[in-house]
Amino acid sequence: MFRHKGKSRTFTHNLKIASLLSFVAGVVNVAGFLSVQRLTTNVTGHFAMFVDEVFQQKFLEATHYFLYILFFFLGSFFSGFAIEFIHKIDDRYTYRIPVLVESVILITVAFTGQLFVPTYPYIIAYALLFTMGLQNALVTRISNAVVRTTHLTGLFTDLGIEVSQLFFYKERAKRQKLYSSIRLRLTIISFFFLGGLFGGIFYSKIQMFVLLGAGMLLLAGLYYDYVRLAVKRKLIAKKIR
């Protein structure tokens, strides 16, 4: 799911990673909004609010919105830099480290979030936006920009285009490709919604600890990859013998 890249990556790999990461993004989106009343999976709205606050000369608030954008960027930068740096050292850990960092941040916020929400809510927003920038860059890199999981605007745009193309593309191969792409986008949208539903229901019961579930899911995804690789290597070793 995480380790496959390039030509070895299949539609099934993309479907699995899209399901996992879009669910996590849905949880983060709702938990962030309910806790600090800020969108924490994308920066489109924050840019508009930044400009608005500048025009109203509310420079302190404008600074916060600027930092929201900056932390999302820093998450993306960290993810891209880490992937390139680790790839030169040991290719096996290229994508594991960014996922581990994201899960550690989410778990840390889960345990410390309630301490910051009353007095320093901005710190929660910065941390969650960093993780979502990291995740967006990670999945974009892994899937060669086929999968995006942290926001839905582009997904609905692409989905609308592809559904419209079904009325014109009659060749079997082209239609099969369209069906696969539509299925992938619907999967991302569905799991983002399910993650949001999960986040909303459990936030009302356990508050920021709902992020613990998101962080543990990421670790479970890494463990799943590790187990599959170990099993595959054992099977290959048996065949060689």
CB-based contact 139:147 (threshold 8 Å): yes
172-206 vs 11-36: helix axis angle to the nearest 10?
30
* Strand segments (E) across 8-158: none
Q: What is the pLDDT of residues 133-179, one digit of tens each?
A: 999 999 888 887 778 887 788 889 989 999 999 998 888 888 898 99
| Confidence at residue 155, expressed as pLDDT on a 0 to 100 scale | 87
184 to each of 12, 113, 114, 228, 238, how far by Cα in Å?
Answer: 9, 33, 36, 22, 35
pLDDT for the residue numbered 197: 96
- 203 exposed, middle or buried (CB, 10 Å; 0-12, 13-18, 19+)? buried
pLDDT at position 154, please? 83
Q: How far is 196 from 205, CA to CA, in rounded Å?
A: 14
**Distance (Å, rounded) from C-alpha 201 to C-alpha 216?**
18
Counting as low any pLDDT under 70, the low residues of the chain are 1-8, 240-241
Task: Report if residue 176 sits inside a domain.
Answer: yes
Q: What is the pLDDT of residue 109?
A: 96
- Give the CA diameter of the chain: 74
pLDDT at site 8? 65
The answer to whether position 230 is within a domain reads yes
Domain assignment of residue 4, yes or no: no
Q: How many domains does the chain have?
A: 1
* Entry pTM: 0.90
Confidence (pLDDT) at 125: 95
Residue 5 domain flag: no
Is residue 149 within 8 Å of residue 192, measured between CB atoms? yes
Residue 110 lies in a domain: yes
The whole-angstrom distance between residue 43's C-alpha and the CA centroid of its chain comes to 14
CA distance 110 to 162: 38
Domain limits for position 72 = 11-240
In a domain, 104, yes or no: yes
> Residue 200 contacts by C-beta under 8 Å, 6 or more apart in sequence?
30, 34
